[in-house]
Amino acid sequence: MQSGHLFSSLSVLCWALCAGPAHAQSVRSEPAPAVSPSAPAASLAEHKKPVESTVQLQLLEGVRLFRAERYEDALRVFQQVNTDEKSTDIGFYLGMVLHKLGRHSAALIAFRSTQRSGLREPVADYYAAVSCYRLGMNTRARRGFASLAAAASGPAPGVPPLGPRLQQGARNFLSALPPSAVETASDGGSSSIHLQYERARQAAERLLASDDAEGALEWLDEAGQILEESPDPRERAEHSDELRALLNRLRSKPGSHVRTADVQALEQRLAH
């Protein structure tokens, strides 16, 4: 199956996948937009280019299980689709259900696979930012929520807008996040960036030592984004060298599933 085919179904099903019991708009339980139970079936019936019927039925079954909060069962269905189809588009579905199961590092890895394909879905971006928040990746979380809040007034062409409940959720999370490293540095707390960077770097090192290369990459991404906010060019250069050394270790890790393109993208960011 071509990757675009599965994503065409994704664009139809994404609202159903995010639906479920209503939650308070707080940082403890992130909001989800309400959807009519008949919406997915009706939309699929009208869709011009549905995916092959077997995959479509599997996805619908996974969505049904997701909405019933049977997340482990939904995960097994989506994993089976991923095994059968070998498509990175399924990362959206996997990321959503892994997020609901509290497996936030695995959720970010799944979302990254979808982003690698050049696909964009604001609901997935929202839940990726929430997973960053839950893991303590505050810089990535802040940038994710800020981008979604800014896009509320005018999303990119071809990208569906984020619903009002999730827009409010993004604003709530932004309010709950601690001050950014840049804000604390401007208030005289210049060591804050270094402390946040060290925390992220050490998390990546621990994951590398436990052979979790993909999880390590997520923390290296956080460390890299923290460095981008440092006003000290010498600090940026010194720590960038450290991160490049860790990326080299990650790249050479036996059995690593990290994609070369993801490592190169982070290396390019560190070069600027």
Instruction: Tell me the pLDDT tens digit for each residue of 142-158.
Output: 999 999 988 866 656 65
Q: Which residues of the chain have pLDDT under 70?
A: 1-52, 86-88, 152-160, 181-182, 184-190
Domain match, 7 and 139 both: yes
Of 153, 176, 199, which residue is a domain's last? Answer: 176
Please count the structural domains in the chain.
2
Domain match, 210 and 133 both: no
CATH number at residue 41: 1.25.40.10
182 domain residue, yes or no: no
Domain match, 208 and 156 both: no
Q: What is the pTM of this model?
A: 0.81
- Contacts for 229 with CB less than 8 Å, ≥ 6 apart: 139, 180, 181, 182, 193
pLDDT score of 19: 52
pLDDT score of 232: 84
Domain match, 236 and 211 both: yes
DSSP string, 31-80: ------TTHHHHHHHH-SSPPPHHHHHHHHHHHHHHHTT-HHHHHHHHHH
* Domain of residue 58, residue span: 3-176
The rounded distance, in Å, linking the Cα atoms of 271 and 240 is 8
The rounded distance, in Å, linking the Cα atoms of 270 and 264 is 10
